Amino acid sequence: MPLQKSLGLHRQIADLLTDDDTIFIFYTCYPTAFQTKPTSMDHIVIIGNGISGITAARSIRKRSDHKITVISGETDHFFSRTALMYIYMGHMTYEHTKPYEDFFWAKNRIELKRAWVSGIDFDKKQLQFDEGEPPMTYDKLVLALGSKSNKFGWPGQDLKGVQGMYSYQNLEYIEEYTTDISRGVIVGGGLIGIELAEMLHSRGIPTTFLVRESSFWNVVLPAEESAMINREIENNHVDLRLSTELKEIVSDENGRVKAVITGDGETIECQFVGLTAGVSPNVAFVKDTALETNRGILVDEALATNIPDVYAVGDCAEFRLPNGQRRPIEQVWYTGRMMGETVARTLTGERTAYRPGIWFNSAKFFDIEYQTYGWVWAKDRENEQSFYWEEPQLGNRSLRIVYDKDSKKVLGCNAFGLRMRHEVWDKWIGEGTQLQTVVQDLEKAHFDPEFFKRYEQDIQLQYNTEFPSAQITPRKKSLLEKIF
């Protein structure tokens, strides 16, 4: 796996294995010695074995002796969803994406059940399953149902060879339907769309990428960063079609896709279509029940739903009240993990509000790694300004620092092709550090491995030309940097 890409993924897996997991792994067979709160035994059932459900289960076990059952219809064991693409690309096997050995669950008395839950009787506290399995009762229920790929009613969206990219089953399907094809078309220019483009590209499959917006992901990325990713997509020989919508997917005589028709009326022949126009909370089977839902399952700050003893976490949860500037639904890995930890506290007797701190996210666009901290909007807001640096020759690295126009306090940062230290940006943004200090101390946030080209000096020199009244002393290059 390429180094840049593997870093983000390994960070996600490493994040799961914190120091106290050492205790967890080796000592939880002696529960009483390590429990913080001995309580009476409840049966806590968690639907969903993704990052949020599994973190809830692990955290509950660390803190209590409750009976825990985790149910999922997707796979027997927890795996890293963010690593699905690497299985397709041949960098990893499915086994490699499982952060825990299979024996871990029994050893820690977390029961796993592979089944689809088809209904919930909230009065009887009972779950129903597909395929005539007996119902299961619970004392407390955690819904960690994740997301599903969006479909917008396009003609032909259910044809053979047309698929979203979310689940392990989606991956198997994509594997089957992208063998020996002459073109794939991807619909929807977000984080998953570009991953799918890279996947097809890795197998040498000519790929057309339909993006409705005038530039890649420009609802999130500022114009310069978005343009950089357009270039990166094209440099990888993907046929990027901006401002282009899908109108229809056309079938062959066997019900398999043979072409798409765009909004401009162009027909593009293809044998596979990837639908990656966003995801939404996977809440269909709890809609029209007593559980209150909007786009997701509505929860309060402690992740409690309107029904006593029922909680929701991760991608499927929607906060009733906004948490500062954060969105009511957060569909990223680390927020799922934090929600899992938070609900575990409440379920073990310590009602705790979800307080996720400063926003961050990371991704990779082909070979360009992306990190964002704090608030960086597609367009600076009224009180904001940006300092933006871009590597001039290749145009594949950049740093944007957003700050408050009046106070010059730093509000957020976008780093492309540069690795930054999370804890440093967290501190700078949290403490409202001045732009001048941040640029002066940029080296503290530097996280690229040894011998990677350093850019602090270039950034600082540009800063000095843009801010002549607030000069800083640029970092001196080391002898090795000067030589190479």
Which parts of 35-127 fold into alpha helices (H)?
51-63, 84-89, 103-107
Smallest gap from Cβ 130 to ligand FAD, in A, equals 8
Is 338 an interacting residue with respect to ligand FAD (CB under 6 A)? no
Is 332 an interacting residue with respect to ligand FAD (CB under 6 A)? yes
CB 163 within 8 A of CB 293: no
Smallest gap from Cβ 230 to ligand FAD, in A, equals 20
**Nearer to ligand FAD among residue 282 and residue 433 (C-beta):** 282
Considering only the stretches 43-51, 172-180, 208-216, 447-455, report the one whose residues sit in contact with ligand FAD under the rule CB under 6 A: 43-51
Which parts of 308-421 fold into alpha helices (H)?
333-347
Is 285 an interacting residue with respect to ligand FAD (CB under 6 A)? yes
> Residue 406 has what DSSP assignment?
T
Among 315, 341, 456, 458, which residue sits at the site for ligand FAD (rule: CB under 6 A)? 315
Q: Which amino acid is at 429?
A: I
Is 48 an interacting residue with respect to ligand FAD (CB under 6 A)? yes
Among 336, 374, 412, 417, which residue sits at the site for ligand FAD (rule: CB under 6 A)? 336
Q: Which amino acid is at 6?
A: S
Smallest gap from Cβ 294 to ligand FAD, in A, equals 17
The H-or-E segment that residue 450 falls in is none
CB 96 within 8 A of CB 104: no
CA-CA distance, 368 to 418, in Å (whole number)?
9
Q: Which of residues 112-131 bind ligand FAD (CB under 6 A)?
A: 116-117
Considering only the stretches 90-98, 204-212, 327-335, 426-434, report the one whose residues sit in contact with ligand FAD under the rule CB under 6 A: 327-335
**Nearer to ligand FAD among residue 108 and residue 335 (C-beta):** 335
CA-CA distance, 270 to 231, in Å (whole number)?
24
Binding string, residues 163-202; x marks residues near ligand FAD by CB under 6 A: --xx-------------------------x--x-------
Smallest CA-to-CA distance from 21 within 59, 57, 50, 53 is with 59
CA-CA distance, 338 to 56, in Å (whole number)?
9
Is 81 an interacting residue with respect to ligand FAD (CB under 6 A)? yes
Among 44, 45, 57, 84, which residue sits at the site for ligand FAD (rule: CB under 6 A)? 84
**Nearer to ligand FAD among residue 60 and residue 439 (C-beta):** 60
**Nearer to ligand FAD among residue 131 and residue 382 (C-beta):** 131
Query: Which residue of this chain has its Cβ atom nearest to ligand FAD in the complex?
Result: 146
Which 3 state secondary structure label does DSSP give 107?
A: helix
CA-CA distance, 473 to 195, in Å (whole number)?
40
**Nearer to ligand FAD among residue 77 and residue 241 (C-beta):** 77
**Nearer to ligand FAD among residue 228 and residue 312 (C-beta):** 312
Smallest CA-to-CA distance from 99 within 170, 13, 161 is with 13
Q: Which amino acid is at 230?
A: N
**Alpha-carbon Rg of the chain, whole angstroms?**
24
Q: How many amino acids of this chain bind ligand FAD (CB under 6 A)?
A: 35
| Half-sphere exposure at residue 36, Cβ-oriented, CA atoms within 13 angstroms | 12
Cα distances (angstroms) measured from residue 127 to each of 120, 196, 286: 5, 35, 11
**Nearer to ligand FAD among residue 10 and residue 453 (C-beta):** 10
Which 3 state secondary structure label does DSSP give 35?
A: coil
CA-CA distance, 380 to 382, in Å (whole number)?
7
Among 275, 363, 399, 420, which residue sits at the site for ligand FAD (rule: CB under 6 A)? 363
Smallest gap from Cβ 135 to ligand FAD, in A, equals 13
Is 375 an interacting residue with respect to ligand FAD (CB under 6 A)? no
Backbone angles phi, psi at 140, to 5 degrees: -130, 145
Cα distances (angstroms) measured from residue 248 to each of 53, 82, 155, 170, 353: 37, 29, 5, 21, 45
Binding string, residues 49-78; x marks residues near ligand FAD by CB under 6 A: xxxxx-----------------xxxx----
**Nearer to ligand FAD among residue 173 and residue 463 (C-beta):** 173
CB 146 within 8 A of CB 48: yes
Is 373 an interacting residue with respect to ligand FAD (CB under 6 A)? no
**Nearer to ligand FAD among residue 365 and residue 388 (C-beta):** 365
User: Which residues are within 8 A (CB) of 136 and not within 5 positions of it... i.e. 6 or more apart?
Assistant: 45, 69, 71, 113, 126, 127, 129
**Nearer to ligand FAD among residue 209 and residue 388 (C-beta):** 209
CA-CA distance, 233 to 116, in Å (whole number)?
38
Considering only the stretches 150-158, 329-337, 349-357, 462-470, report the one whose residues sit in contact with ligand FAD under the rule CB under 6 A: 329-337
CA-CA distance, 184 to 182, in Å (whole number)?
7
Smallest gap from Cβ 336 to ligand FAD, in A, equals 4
Q: Which residues sit at the interface with ligand FAD, rule CB under 6 A?
A: 47-53, 71-74, 81-82, 84, 116-117, 144-147, 165-166, 192, 195, 282, 285, 314-315, 331-334, 336, 361, 363
